[in-house]
Structures are given as structure tokens and as C-alpha cells.
Amino acid sequence: MGISSSSSVCFELNGGRLAPRRLDGPPVCGCILPCFLFPRVPPEIRTQLVEQFKCLEQQSESRLQLLQDLQEFFRRKAEIELEYSRSLEKLAERFSSKIRGSREHQFKKDQHLLSPVNCWYLVLTQTRRESRDHATLNDIFTNNVIVRLSQISEDVIRLFKKSKEIGLQMHEELLKVTNELYTVMKTYHMYHAESISAESKLKEAEKQEEKQFNKSGDVSVNLLRHEERPQRRSSVKKIEKMKEKRQAKYSENKLKCTKARNDYLLNLAATNAAVSKYYIHDVSDLIDCCDLGFHASLARTFRTYLSAEYNLETSRHEGLDIIENAVDNLDARSDKHTIMDMCNQVFCPPLKFEFQPHMGDEVCQVSAQQPVQTELLMRYHQLQSRLATLKIENEEVRKTLDATMQTLQDMLTVEDFDVSDAFQHSRSTESVKSAASETYMSKINIAKRRANQQETEMFYFTLMDPSEAFPVLNPQLSLPFLVCTAKICPGHRVEINSH
């Protein structure tokens, strides 16, 4: 299951769970040189080297686990994006096909010119755009991000294996040096022991020589014992010869010992330097080999994901801007004209009523000679004074109307559409605050505002309605009548504020 016992491809294909081994777990086979090769290496160092490999392996297995989690994550996220994309596509298509298929399609086509319908079509366009973008996200996750992740997994396995090979060589080198140190130490100890032994033997010979020397001192005192002299001389010679021999042996052993000690001391320093170099540089290099490209490749994978998400966002934003522009262009006046143009035979004024003279009546204008003139003038003055009253009343109504309209406009254009608050995430995991609770859109607030709005609206309509705002007029006291009358009474002008 571990990296060391399975091939890279099998590892990926099996996809088994790779629990990182714990530090106190069983030793990792194959990660360390067998003990019998270098039996004289201190066990602490041997254990550390084993643990170092375990640590590297654990690290690589953690990475593989991470990469596997990321792959699973993006595989599932890709599925979610695709589901979302399909739902959006279906949603947009449902309404688009309704628009296309409806028997009043042609009519709707004309309606396209109306600003609210334009907004609605753009919302559908945006939905299709979002659908496409999330499908693209699915595609990028599946065919790019996941592929990269599985490649990084392969890389981690391959690099760990390669690093292990290099590490094993480093360890072999280190153990060889350490093992060698023990050998040269033993050599030094041996030569030193031999040197001591040779020295003691030399000292023994010197003692014997001294003994002989003391005897020859007695000789000078006792010269009379003449017959003993040749025997004694050969004995002295023998002792001297032995001493010389032992002296040579000692010197030889001492030199050997010195060389061995030098060797040991130099090896000691070299081993310490090698161990130090290994711990300070080589282990770090080994980890670097394991890491080679991991962070860079992972960064590129994450950046691919980020690029996809950022691009989705940009595309979304562009679409929303188009809708916002259309919303800015919602225009009641322009729509009214469009409708009136569309049905222009319904809204065009009819032909004027023409004067129909009776049987050869040649008079076709108002005659204002006496006695009719007096009556006309009287009626005109009557209208004039009525108009003055109306103007005052009208002015009052107009003021109230304007104020009411302003109130209505304020109600209708209140900027109550900012929902930023709903997106302020506290860092805690508390559930989403309902956009409707405690806010502008709460049930009570809505009811209150709507009641208020409709009341104002009704008041406005009451003011608009001539039959309620003013007493019903005699048709011959109506404004058009007045206008005409004024025209045919020369010298009398009337200022009309047409409603």
C-alpha cells in the first residue's frame, strides 16, 4: 500500500487509502541498508536514518492523499457545475421555447421593443450565459485541473523513488565512513596495545641490563674472581642485544600506533564533517529532490482553477452589466409611444366634424350681430368669471396633485434594492440570515408600505378624476366651448391652461 511497495501506476489506479505511517510504526522495508553491511555503526544514527526515510515517505503519502482529495473534490465539483449548468439551460430553454412557440410570437417580437420585455430577454440570455460558463467550469475541472493533479501524483511517486535511491547512496556513504571509523579506532587500539606491550618488554630488558650493570659494579670491588669474567661479558652482550631488539620493536610499534592514531584522528574529524554535512546539507537536498516542482505544479493547478473561476466571474459581470444597462433604460414614456405607434390606427385622432349647412344655407360662420351679440357677450362674461374661479380651484388641485405625485414618485423610486447585508458573512458558521427577516422586506413593513402607497395612489386618482374633483359642468360651460366663444368675440382674450 505504501509508496515503497507499489508501482506508481498501480498506486494511482488502485486509489486505495494511503494512511500516512505513524512515526512509531513498524520500520519501512527497503528504505534503509541492511544492518549486517555496516555492523559497527552506532544504533542512534541508524535509527535516525530509518526515521528520516519514514518522514519523507509520510510526507509524500500526505501529499498523495491531498492530491487524491483534491481530485475527488474537483471531480465532484465538476459534476455539481454540470448539474447547475444543465438546470440553468433547461430553465432558460423552457421560457425561450415558450417565447418562440407561442402563437403570438410575432406580436412578442414587436413587444421586444418594449423595455421591460427587453430586460426579461436579457435575463434569459444571462441565464444561458451562466449555463455555458458553468459547463466550461466542468470542462476545465475535468480535463485540466484533475489531469494536472494526477500528473502531480505521478511526479510525487517518481520523485520519492528517485530521492530514495539517492538517499540510499548518501546513507551508504555515511555508514561506510562511520563503519570505517570504528575499524581505524580498533586498529589504533591494537597498535597502542602492542606499543604498550613492546614498551613493557623493553623496560624489562632495561631492568635486566641494569641488574647486570649493578653486578659489574661488584666486579670492580671483587677483581680477584678472575675466572668468572668471560662468562659475564657474553651475558651482558646478550642482554644488550635483546634490549636493542626490543627497542626496535617498541619504536616500530610506537610509529605504527602514532600512524594509527593519526589515521583515527583524521578519520574522526572526517567522519564528523561527513555526518555534519549530511545532516546540514544532504538531508535538505534530499527533501528538495522529493519536492522538485511539487509546489510549482500545484500552484499552476490552483491558478488554473482560479483562472477558471475569475473568468466565470468576469463573464457573469459583463452579462449583469448588460442587464443593468437595460434596467437603466426602462422607460415608460418611450414604451407608451411605442405602443401608440404600434396601434396607431386606434390612437390617431378621427377626422374633424365639418359644418353641415342646411339646404343652401350660405351662412357658415357664427353671426355676432345684434341681437345675438348681447347674448353671446353675456355668456362670454359668465364663462370668463367661471373660468377665473376654476383657475384658482385648479391651481389648488394642481399643487396637491404635484405634491401627491412627488410622494408617489418617492415611494416608487425608493432605493430599497441593496441586499449587500445578506452577503456579509460572519466568520462563524452560523446559518444564513433570511433576507426577509428584520429587514425592509419583512411582512409587516411590506404591508405598511403597500397600504401607504395605495392610499396615496387613490388620492392621486381622486384628484385626477374631473367628475370628482370638480362639479359636473354644463357642457356649454366646458373649456372647449369657452375657447371657441373667446375666438369669435373680438378684443376679448382668454388665457387657457389646458389640463
Instruction: Tell me the CA distances in angstroms from 113 to 119, 311, 334, one per residue in order.
Output: 10, 31, 10
Q: Which of 113, 236, 242, 289 binds a second copy (CB under 8 A)?
A: 289
Stretch that binds a second copy, among 54-62, 201-209, 218-226, 395-403 (CB under 8 A): 54-62
Told to check if 285 binds a second copy by CB under 8 A, we report: yes
**Per-residue x/- track, 199-238, a second copy (CB under 8 A):** ----------------------------------------
Pair 470, 393: CB distance under 8 Å: yes
Considering only 42, 248, 396, 399, the residue that binds a second copy (CB under 8 A) is 42
**Residue 40: count of CB within 10 angstroms of its CB:** 13
Is residue 196 within the footprint of a second copy (CB under 8 A)? yes
Nearest-approach distance from CB 357 to a second copy, in angstroms: 8
322 binds a second copy (CB under 8 A): no
Binds a second copy by CB under 8 A, chosen from 37, 219, 255, 388: 255
Tell which one of 198, 202, 205, 308 touches a second copy (CB under 8 A): 308
The one segment of 27-35, 209-217, 242-250, 328-336 that binds a second copy by CB under 8 A: 328-336
- Whichever of 14 and 276 has its CB closer to a second copy, that residue is 276
d(CA 485, CA 372): 13
Q: Rounded to 5 degrees, what are φ and ψ at 38?
A: -125, 80
Q: Does the footprint of a second copy cover residue 499 (CB under 8 A)?
A: yes
- 292 contacts a second copy (rule: CB under 8 A): yes
CA 132 from chain centre, in angstroms, equals: 21
Considering the complex, what minimum distance in angstroms separates the CB of residue 17 from a second copy?
10
73 close to 129: Cβ distance less than 8 angstroms: no
Q: Which of the residues 126 through 165 are near a second copy (CB under 8 A)?
A: 127-129, 132-133, 135-136, 139-140, 143-144, 147, 151, 158-159, 162, 165
Rg of the chain's alpha carbons, rounded to an integer? 56
Among the listed residues 242, 376, 397, 494, the single contact to a second copy using CB under 8 A = 376
380 counts as binding a second copy under rule CB under 8 A:
no
Q: What is the signed CA dihedral for 163, 166, 171, 172, rounded to 10 degrees? A: 150
Tell me which residues in 80-99 interact with a second copy (CB under 8 A). Answer: 80, 83-84, 87-88, 91, 94-95, 98
27-to-18, 34, 472 alpha-carbon distances in Å: 17, 12, 108
Q: How far is the CB of 415 from a second copy (least distance, A)?
A: 8
Nearer to a second copy, 292 or 494 (CB): 292
29 vs 348, which CB is nearer to a second copy? 348
Nearer to a second copy, 125 or 208 (CB): 125
Site string for a second copy, 475-494 (x = CB under 8 A): xx-x-xx-xxx-xx------
Shortest separation between residue 237's beta carbon and a second copy, angstroms: 30
Judged by beta carbon, residue 176 or residue 232, the one nearer a second copy is 176
Q: What angle do CA 270, 274, 275 make, to 5 degrees?
A: 120
Q: Do 56 and 163 contact (CB within 8 A), yes or no?
A: yes
* 309 near a second copy, judged by CB under 8 A: yes
Whole-number Å distance between alpha carbons of 347 and 339: 10
User: Does the footprint of a second copy cover residue 300 (CB under 8 A)?
Assistant: yes
- Is 314 an interacting residue with respect to a second copy (CB under 8 A)? yes
Task: Please state, in angstroms and rounded to a whole number, the distance separating the CA atoms of residues 64 and 20.
Answer: 10
Q: How far is the CB of 309 from a second copy (least distance, A)?
A: 5
Cell of 248: 626496535
We find the least distance from the C-beta atom of residue 392 to a second copy, in angstroms, to be 22
* CB hemisphere CA count around 44 (13 angstroms): 1
User: What is the C-alpha to C-alpha distance for residues 452 and 93, in angstroms, rounded to an integer?
Assistant: 39
Does 315 bind a second copy (CB under 8 A)? Our answer is: yes
Q: Is the dihedral of CA 135, 138, 140, 143 positive or negative?
A: negative
Three-class SS of residue 18? coil
HSE toward the beta carbon, residue 87, CA cutoff 13 A: 6
What SS3 state is found at 38? coil
Q: Is 403 in the site for a second copy (CB under 8 A)?
A: no
Q: Which of 128, 142, 200, 157 is nearest to 4 (CA)?
A: 157
Residue type, 100: R
Q: Which residues contact 159 (CB under 8 A, 6 or more apart)?
A: 289, 290, 291, 292, 293, 294
Q: How far is the CB of 494 from a second copy (least distance, A)?
A: 13
- Which of residues 67 and 239 has its CB atom nearest to a second copy in the complex? 67
Cell 530514495 found at = 164
Least Å distance between CB 203 and a second copy?
A: 15
d(CA 273, CA 265): 12
Q: Which of 28, 185, 202, 390 binds a second copy (CB under 8 A)?
A: 185
Minimum CB–partner distance for residue 498 and a second copy (Å): 7
**Which residues between 424 and 453 bind a second copy (CB under 8 A)?**
425, 429, 432, 434-436, 441, 446, 450
Any idea which residue has 455539481 for its cell?
80
Instruction: Look at residue 353 and give its three-state secondary structure.
Output: coil
Stretch that binds a second copy, among 31-39, 218-226, 355-363, 396-404 (CB under 8 A): 355-363
Longest CA–CA span in the chain (Å) reads 211
- Cβ proximity to a second copy: between 236 and 339 the closer is 339
